[in-house]
Amino acid sequence: MSRKWADRALLALFIGMAVLLYLSTASYPGIARTTSARYVRFLAVFIGALSALQLGYSLLKDRSAGRLSLTDHLPRFLGLLAALAAFAVLFERFGFFLVAGVFIPLVAWLLGYRRKSVILLVTLGVLLFVWLVFVQLLNVNLPGPTF
C-alpha cells in the first residue's frame, strides 16, 4: 500500500469515528447530555472537520506515491512511543500543562525540528489554546499537579 492511500484510509477512518462519536452523545443520560456531551461533540466536530479538510487536501494535491516504510526510522519511532508512554504515566501525577509543556518540545526535537523559538511559540500556543477552550470555554477540569 502506498503512503498516500494509507494516509487517506486513516483519515477516512477518523471521519467515521468522529461521526460515531458525535452520534453516541444522544444516548448520554440526564445531566451528561448538557455537560459531557458538549465536550464530546466539540471534539468530534473538530476531529471530523480537520480530517475531512486534510483528506480533501490530499485528494486535490496528488503527491508522489512513495511506499510506506515503518522501519526507516525505528529509533525515532520507539522514542516517540516511549515519550507517549511517559506522558500517560506522568499525566495524572503532574497534571496536563506541566507534562504537555515538556512533551511537546521533546516530540518536536525527536521529529528533527531544531528551531527553538518556533518550538517555544508552538508549545505556548498549544497550551494557551487548550486552556482557553477546555478550561475557560468548556469548563473541563484538567488534572493538575499533586505534590
Per-residue pLDDT tens over the stretch 40-69: 888 889 888 998 988 888 888 765 555 556
pLDDT at 143: 79
pLDDT at 146: 60
pLDDT less than 70: residues of the chain? 1, 62-72, 146-147
pLDDT at 119: 93
pLDDT at 134: 83
Backbone angles phi, psi at 99, to 5 degrees: -70, -40
Q: How far apart are CA 42 and CA 134, in angstroms?
A: 10
How far, rounded to the nearest angstrom, does the alpha carbon of residue 24 sit from its chain's CA centroid? 20
pLDDT at 31: 72
Rg (alpha carbons) of the chain, rounded to whole number: 18
* Residues 6 or more apart in contact with residue 54 via CB below 8 angstroms: 11
Residue with cell 477512518: 13
pLDDT at 65: 54
pTM of the predicted model over 0.75: no
pLDDT at 71: 61
pLDDT at 63: 56
